[in-house]
Amino acid sequence: MTRPLTPRDLVYGLTLAGDPQVSPGGDLIAYTLTTAREQARPVRQVWLCRIDGSDARPLTVPETPAAGARWSPGGDRLAFAAARDGRHTLCILDLSAAGEPAELASHGQPLGELAWSPNARAIAYTTLYDPENPLEEIAAPGAAPKVRVTRRLDFKEDGRGYLGDRRTQVFTVDVEDGSRLRLTSEPLEHDLPQWSPDGRFVGMREHLQDRAGQRLIAVDVASGAIEELGGGSGAMIVHWAFSPDGERVLFAADPDQSFQPDYFLHSRASGATRRVTSDLQSFPDTAPPVWIDDRQALFHSCSAGASALELLDVETGAVDLLERTEARRSGLSLDRGMRAVAQEESSLDSIGELGVFDRTAGSSATITAHNAALLTEAPPAAWETLVVDRGDFSVDAWLLKPRDFDPARRYPLILDVHGGPSANYGYGFLAHEQCLSTNGFLVLFANPRGSTSYGRRFAEQIVRGWGQGDYEDLLAVLDAVLERPYADGERTGIFGISYGGYMTAWAIGQSDRFRAAVCGEPIFDLESDYGTSDVAWRGLERHGGGPPHLEREWYTEFSPSTYAHRIRTPTLIFHGEADQRCPIGQSEQMFVALRKAGCETEYVRYPGGSHMFFAHGLPEHRVDFLTRTLAWFKEHLGEPTPRASPATSAASSRPA
């Protein structure tokens, strides 16, 4: 006997495997396993299994959070980051000998992105560095908070709060004696470190001040000299990698802010960069590409809402599809022989597992089953895909149904709108969708124009057109499903977070067709969002054509706040109070507007919650969010009902 998934199942019942790393020999995989706990931080441990998933075992203890394991070039040691007693430590575990991990370097802030040097004598890593507190001294108890002064626009970031000049810098540490070297010093963000094949340089991505763009640089470890590798003003770099001989650099970037990256190849000898692809039809993942040989590089991408492994010819720009799977994968790790490809994996049927693609056999397998027991007892929703033609475009959509779906009944339907807007939905397991769909609702989600993973032309349709073509696409998909006799057109709801929150607020300001709405962390007033968000002042200029004083009509016409006085749809609003991406003032404005309009409204705030609190925040808050969302739609849309017979329908339509 099966049952629906509950909010507690979806937070405390799931164990998530991630960041898999194949050993150089191709026989083992190290990964991070995360489990939520009540009234405590999640348990994160480094685990080890064979390439087929067998003999899985933890390498670290639950009491010491650990993650980010990376193999030494010889495959005999693992480096990972751990936290203990308020400190964050880089540790090394020798798998060839018994004993505890050795602590190599310690900081007051979390460590990330570990990278072994080719000769295994040093490790590069990143951590936050404060130029005003280089020794990481702890403030005296009771001391007044420091006054904050800034002259830069990028002084804050969602999930990290106020930054000032504190930025992630790249360090190296000697594996034998523990001596440390800070390679970077500019108060700019540095990430994605990689060693050059000869071990002389550490390359990395550098974020220019005020989000003006990103560039790639290589730092000479011995001299500190900096070499530019590509990118620059205006460029947004997704990922990169040195060629096998170290003479070239391949990177995916969007220098024109077109919402679609392409590949570029930089020659270190000439300093020239050339474009390799002109209109990539998929969206590269953040995991670095892997050079298979001197001419080909493997990369992972999102393609029409699915995951794809693709092979790029860096000379011709030709892209060959190796595998496309109806799942959402991330990461990319290969063994020395370039045969096994390990990734973390979720789908509409599972979450938190590891997948391995065998390049030689051309086959793929899910090798773990951490959540099999729960998802057998409480299965995920049944699902189907549909495509709706809209003029020059086709819109992909997915419909989730309760596992006990009965076509002889009528079901309330909820339209879920993705954020971004330059993002996409697809074959992924989302807690709120599973919570709603397994508890009696049809849940519909789609990739309207403006979504990524369909190429540049489709992605650019959103520019200066918020709430227009994309809104019409969503309604067309909704209407297509409502033609089905089991979908109740009188009981439809809408749900969205971030840009999905914008679209939710927009939709209920344009129409009364929705009986209930749940609006999360919305963009409600474009002009105030421009001046308070950590990124909107840059993004809205691209989407709207300029700043508010130059594009006043656009900011007014396309703000949901302009139409909020006419909203009558019962609306639940929720927001993380520490959200810097769509600051909480957006939902405060919306709540006041709806209350003044006489609309039934409830406002839920989550202290300390960032923009992504509903997915990565405190477990208690995530359970609360799911519970309230489900209850709101249950109250306003009701349960599935028997479908009336034709005779009953005819009788009920006669005038009294």
> What's the pLDDT at 645?
58
- Asked if residue 629 belongs to a domain, the reply is yes
Q: Are residues 280 and 397 in the same domain?
A: no
Domain with residue 50: its CATH number is: 2.120.10.30
> What's the pLDDT at 655?
35
Q: Do 587 and 603 contact (CB within 8 A), yes or no?
A: yes
Average pLDDT over residues 453-475: 97
- Asked if residue 346 belongs to a domain, the reply is no
Per-residue pLDDT reduced to its tens digit, 412-460:
999 999 999 999 999 999 999 999 999 999 999 999 999 999 999 999 9
> What's the pLDDT at 233?
95
* Partners of 116 in the β-ladder: 123
Give 408-436 as a DSSP string: TEEEEEEEEE-SSSS----S---HHHHHH
Give 268-279 as a DSSP string: TTT--EEE--SS
Q: Return d(Cα 160, Cα 122) in angstroms, integer.
A: 29
Lowest mean pLDDT among 89-103, 229-243, 622-636: 89-103
Per-residue pLDDT reduced to its tens digit, 484-507:
999 999 999 999 999 999 999 999
Contacts of 1 (CB under 8 A, 6+ apart): none
241, 276, 291 - which closes a domain: 291
Per-residue pLDDT reduced to its tens digit, 37-82:
887 788 999 999 999 999 999 999 999 999 999 999 999 999 999 9
Per-residue pLDDT reduced to its tens digit, 384-393:
999 999 999 9
CA 625-626-632 angle, to 5 degrees, is: 90
Domain with residue 440: its CATH number is: 3.40.50.1820
Q: Do 82 and 65 contact (CB within 8 A), yes or no?
A: yes
291, 306, 322 - which closes a domain: 291
- Asked if residue 149 belongs to a domain, the reply is no
Predicted TM-score (pTM) of this structure = 0.96
Token pair, residue 234, equals 């205006």
> What's the pLDDT at 426?
98
**Which residue from 125, 45, 55, 25 is spatially nearest to 93, judged by alpha carbons?**
45
The mean predicted confidence, pLDDT, of the chain is 96
> What's the pLDDT at 455?
96
> What's the pLDDT at 651?
36
Which phi and psi (to 5°) does residue 613 adopt? Answer: -60, -35
- Asked if residue 473 belongs to a domain, the reply is yes
Say what angle helices 499-510 and 469-482 make with each other, to 10 degrees: 70
Dihedral, CA atoms, 154, 157, 162, 166, nearest 10 degrees? -70
Lowest mean pLDDT among 37-46, 350-359, 581-590, 591-600: 37-46
Q: Return d(Cα 488, Cα 504) in angstroms, integer.
A: 19
- Name the band, by pLDDT with cuts 50, 70 and 90, for residue 26: very high
Residue with tokens 């199942």: 9
Q: Are residues 613 and 492 in the same domain?
A: yes
- Asked if residue 146 belongs to a domain, the reply is no
- What does DSSP say about strands 296-303 and 306-313: parallel, antiparallel, or unpaired? antiparallel
Q: Return d(Cα 109, Cα 430) in angstroms, integer.
A: 30
| Domain boundaries, position 132 | 7-136+154-291
Q: Return d(Cα 45, Cα 24) in angstroms, integer.
A: 21
Average pLDDT over residues 125-149: 94
> What's the pLDDT at 40?
74
Q: Are residues 122 and 233 in the same domain?
A: yes
Q: Are residues 67 and 173 in the same domain?
A: yes
Q: Return d(Cα 275, Cα 286) in angstroms, integer.
A: 19
Q: Do 378 and 346 contact (CB within 8 A), yes or no?
A: no
**Which residue from 448, 391, 464 is spatially nearest to 416, judged by alpha carbons?**
448
Q: Do 486 and 409 contact (CB within 8 A), yes or no?
A: yes
Q: Return d(Cα 14, Cα 12) in angstroms, integer.
A: 6
Number of folded domains that form the chain: 2
Positive or negative: CA dihedral 48, 51, 54, 55: negative
Q: Are residues 408 and 273 in the same domain?
A: no
Q: Are residues 164 and 262 in the same domain?
A: yes
Contacts of 248 (CB under 8 A, 6+ apart): 242, 265, 266, 267, 268, 314
Average pLDDT over residues 298-321: 98
- Asked if residue 539 belongs to a domain, the reply is yes
- Asked if residue 369 belongs to a domain, the reply is no
Amino acid at 176: E
- Asked if residue 338 belongs to a domain, the reply is no
Q: Are residues 284 and 391 in the same domain?
A: no
Contacts of 170 (CB under 8 A, 6+ apart): 124, 125, 126, 182, 183, 184, 190, 193, 202, 204, 219
Token pair, residue 529, equals 């969002």
Q: Are residues 390 and 267 in the same domain?
A: no
> What's the pLDDT at 41?
80
Contacts of 110 (CB under 8 A, 6+ apart): 81, 83, 88, 127, 128
Q: Return d(Cα 85, Cα 550) in angstroms, integer.
A: 52
Contacts of 97 (CB under 8 A, 6+ apart): none
Amino acid at 392: D
Q: Do 291 and 468 contact (CB within 8 A), yes or no?
A: no
- Name the band, by pLDDT with cuts 50, 70 and 90, for residue 649: very low
Give the containing element (helix H, strand E) for 37: strand 28-37
Q: Return d(Cα 335, Cα 330) in angstroms, integer.
A: 17
Q: Do 229 and 216 contact (CB within 8 A), yes or no?
A: yes
260, 291, 322 - which closes a domain: 291
Residue 274 scores a pLDDT above 80: yes
> What's the pLDDT at 39?
72
- Name the band, by pLDDT with cuts 50, 70 and 90, for residue 524: very high
Return the HEC string of 576-634: ECCCCCCCCHHHHHHHHHHHHCCCCEEEEEECCCCCCHHHHCCHHHHHHHHHHHHHHHH
Q: Do 97 and 137 contact (CB within 8 A), yes or no?
A: no
> What's the pLDDT at 653?
34
Q: In what order do the strands lie in the sheet with 189-195?
A: 189-195, 201-207, 213-220, 226-233
